[in-house]
Amino acid sequence: MTRMKDFVHQPKLTHLIIVAGGPGMRLATVAGNLPKALVTVGGKPVLQHQLELAARTGIEKVTIFAGYLAEQIDAFVGDGSRFGLRVCIFTEKQPLGNAGATLQNLDRLPQHFFVVYGDLMLAVDLQRIANCHIEREADFTLMVHPNDHPQDSDLVEADTNDWVTAVHTCPHPADRFFSNLVNAAVYVVRREALRPWAGLAGKWDFAKDIIPRLVADGCHMLAYRSDEYLKDIGTPARLQSAEADWKAGRISFDRSNRSRPAIFLDRDGTLNVEKGHLRAAKDLELFPGVAPALRSLRQSGFRLIVLTNQPVLARGETTEAELAAIHRRLEWELGKDGAYLDAIYVCPHHPDGGFPGERKELKVHCDCRKPGTGLLEQACQDLRIDVSNSWMVGDQTRDIEMARRAGLRSVLVQTGSAGSDGQFPAVPNHIAGDLAAAANVILQHKGFAPG
């Protein structure tokens, strides 16, 4: 995935479209007779939060496509000058979906522009996405992230170069599982990519109609992965959770850019039951209490990152494709219970030869096989991690030894091999019955200040 990069940047793109959309049907009980964009979080309409962010991140011009109760939006925003922006509001005479108005007004738009849905609370550096979009010469860039409800989200798949290869719009079939890679509804669009649909009448939806067609037509669609704050307020529960985030100071542009502590997690024997060497997704079985433990750690400000040795690849006992399926299922099962991981890092190597069917190219001594610290270093390079407040949780002595080498505090769990492998002499900082107990140890640790 394309990761966030830290660099000073000049505004590249200055035009933002906000799709204010229809009535907040699912919010009617809490929002009353308001367009979704005017529902408040922290006492301010979501739209105001968006306009303030836009002004802060180098946007100059905003086009709002408004349908339901557009006059209320007009009355609130006016010409945008009080936000330091030039704002144009177009009122849809009939509902055009979130893409219809853009298609009908394509010739009024610049060569590249942002699109954001009107029901999003976000603290996102828009110019950083624009930089990626321009540098990679994408036709369409969409921000993606894992969330706590993948089962009812529109999902994408991307290749190792971040190009989107498939789109899965919800509802999802009950018998399949997908990576928790959610279309976050923040786009950068090259105008000409939409040319085939320019001026078309009718209702069009970016996620359901346009993005799947663009991918099918082979357009260069870039997945931009970010863990900056972004949440839709489309249901009473999500609105309530955004309100709680606001009160706790979690929706802040500056906080989005700050490094955060992580819990590094071993996989087999820690998250899921060790069944020999796990080779197939159908055999994955999570320990009870894993998802709630991960939820409470995340709630306290930790990133959650899996570091796993998978010598089964080097030994030819499973394939990269099957391993990917195992991880899709892992993400899917966690997602059913409101938990998600930030990333999974895998060492595919194994040092000793002599297995039938082994893959010579992976039979090497590497820095990434735990207790080597290569996977951890890669994670720290990709994500902003406050290593000094981070922890390692695992069931093997190699996890504890890796933690010692990297200067992380460690918890040995009594699941899996429970430290009985005896390969390394490292002593853990704590011992806990399982991951849920480990989470309690970490959250009660003296001196821990949630990020």
Q: For residues 168 and 179, give the distance between their C-alpha atoms in angstroms, rounded to a whole number.
A: 10
Residue of 297, 327, 340 lying closest to 146 (CA atoms): 340
Is residue 368 at the binding interface for Zn ion, with CB under 5 A as the rule?
A: yes
- The stretch among 21-29, 43-51, 340-348, 354-362 that binds Zn ion (CB under 5 A) is 340-348
- The stretch among 51-59, 319-327, 341-349, 390-398 that binds Zn ion (CB under 5 A) is 341-349
Pairing of strands 140-145, 120-123: unpaired
Q: For residues 348 and 335, give the distance between their C-alpha atoms in angstroms, rounded to a whole number.
A: 25
Instruction: Tell me which residues are annotated as active site.
Output: 266, 268
Q: How far is the CB of 372 from Zn ion (least distance, A)?
A: 7
The interface mask with Zn ion, positions 242-271, x = CB under 5 A, is ------------------------------
Q: For residues 261 and 245, give the distance between their C-alpha atoms in angstroms, rounded to a whole number.
A: 18
Backbone phi, psi, residue 163, to 5°: -80, 135
- Kindly give, in sequence order, each residue whose CB lies less than 8 Å from that of residue 89, ignoring residues fewer than 6 positions away: 63, 64, 66, 70, 73, 74, 77
Candidates 260, 267, 349, 350: give the one binding Zn ion (CB under 5 A): 349
The interface mask with Zn ion, positions 210-249, x = CB under 5 A, is ----------------------------------------
Is residue 398 at the binding interface for Zn ion, with CB under 5 A as the rule?
A: no
- The stretch among 158-166, 239-247, 343-351, 415-423 that binds Zn ion (CB under 5 A) is 343-351
| Tokens describing residue 357 | 């069917």
Q: For residues 39 and 272, give the distance between their C-alpha atoms in angstroms, rounded to a whole number.
A: 41
Is residue 412 at the binding interface for Zn ion, with CB under 5 A as the rule?
A: no
Q: Which is nearer to Zn ion, 238 or 370 (CB)?
A: 370
Q: For residues 365 and 377, give the distance between their C-alpha atoms in angstroms, rounded to a whole number.
A: 17
| Tokens describing residue 336 | 């059913």
Candidates 122, 189, 347, 438: give the one binding Zn ion (CB under 5 A): 347
Q: How far is the CB of 381 from Zn ion (least distance, A)?
A: 16
Q: How far is the CB of 349 from Zn ion (least distance, A)?
A: 3
Is residue 366 at the binding interface for Zn ion, with CB under 5 A as the rule?
A: yes
Q: Which is nearer to Zn ion, 190 or 369 (CB)?
A: 369
Count residues binding Zn ion (CB under 5 A). 5
Q: Which is nearer to Zn ion, 226 or 310 (CB)?
A: 310
Is residue 369 at the binding interface for Zn ion, with CB under 5 A as the rule?
A: yes
Q: How far is the CB of 346 from Zn ion (least distance, A)?
A: 8
Backbone phi, psi, residue 310, to 5°: -125, 70
Facing residues of 435 across strands? none
Is residue 363 at the binding interface for Zn ion, with CB under 5 A as the rule?
A: no
Facing residues of 187 across strands? 115, 142
Q: Which is nearer to Zn ion, 194 or 347 (CB)?
A: 347
Q: Which is nearer to Zn ion, 167 or 347 (CB)?
A: 347
Is residue 362 at the binding interface for Zn ion, with CB under 5 A as the rule?
A: no
| Tokens describing residue 198 | 């320019």
Q: Which is nearer to Zn ion, 11 or 351 (CB)?
A: 351
**DSSP letter string over 387-434?**
GGG-EEEESSHHHHHHHHHHT-EEEEESSTTTTTT-S-----SEEESS
Tell me which residues touch Zn ion (CB under 5 A).
Answer: 347, 349, 366, 368-369
